[in-house]
Structure 1
Amino acid sequence: MTSLSVIVWAKQGCSYCEEVKDYLNEKRIAFQTIDVTDLDDRRDILEVKYGIRYVPVVEIGEDGIYKGVTDSGIDHLEKELAPYLVRK
């Protein structure tokens, strides 16, 4: 059985990051947070993976294969999570 893995790349003081985490908590979706506050090496990782340095970025994965949600707005996150939530 596979399990959903969600990673939120965020920084302190980011209202959009908090909105994403609040949404995931409301939906009872477990997630891990990677804090990029004052950590340029972590932003470098985002740049290599997605061509961006801003947060929030939400990575949704299963079986070690992840898709990054880089667009702002809960609607984008909901769309990418939908296939996983249907199977719950």
Structure 2
Amino acid sequence: MSITLYQLEGCPFCEKVADALDDAQISYETVWTDAMHSGRDEVKRVSGQRGVPVLVDEDRGVTMAESDNILEYVDRTLA
């Protein structure tokens, strides 16, 4: 399984998603992003926007933002 989570240090929404992945024992790679939106070019490239968290599930061809949507996806699809 190839999961990547783009997150920002200290972001409570990112931490919620990381905790859910950890609780479900899902392996993932973390890409730490810049605090400044203008420095998040890679996030924009993969998701079309600069907000975090962003989860990329390469195996399923899914890229999504918004922590609530990601949490639902983790619970429904990955756990």
Q: TM-score, normalised by structure 1?
A: 0.72
Deviation above 4 Å: which 4+ runs of structure 1?
none
Q: Is the contact made by 1:69 and 1:76 (CA closer than 8 Å) also made in structure 2?
A: no
TM-superposed deviation, 1:69: 1.5
- The 5 Å alignment of 1:8-87 reads 8-38=5-35, 40=39, 43-62=40-59, 66-73=61-68, 74-79=71-76, 82=77, 85=79
TM-superposed deviation, 1:76: 3.9
CA distance, structure 2, for counterparts of residue 31 and residue 50 of structure 1 = 17
CA distance, structure 2, for counterparts of residue 44 and residue 7 of structure 1 = 16
Secondary structure of the residue aligned to 2:58 is strand
C-alpha RMSD of the superposition: 2.0
Larger gyration radius, structure 1 or structure 2: 1
Name structure 1 gaps, 5 residues minimum: none
**Identity within the alignment, %:** 24
Aligned length: 75
Q: Quick one: which amino acid aligns to residue 57 of structure 1?
A: V
Q: TM-score, normalised by structure 2?
A: 0.79
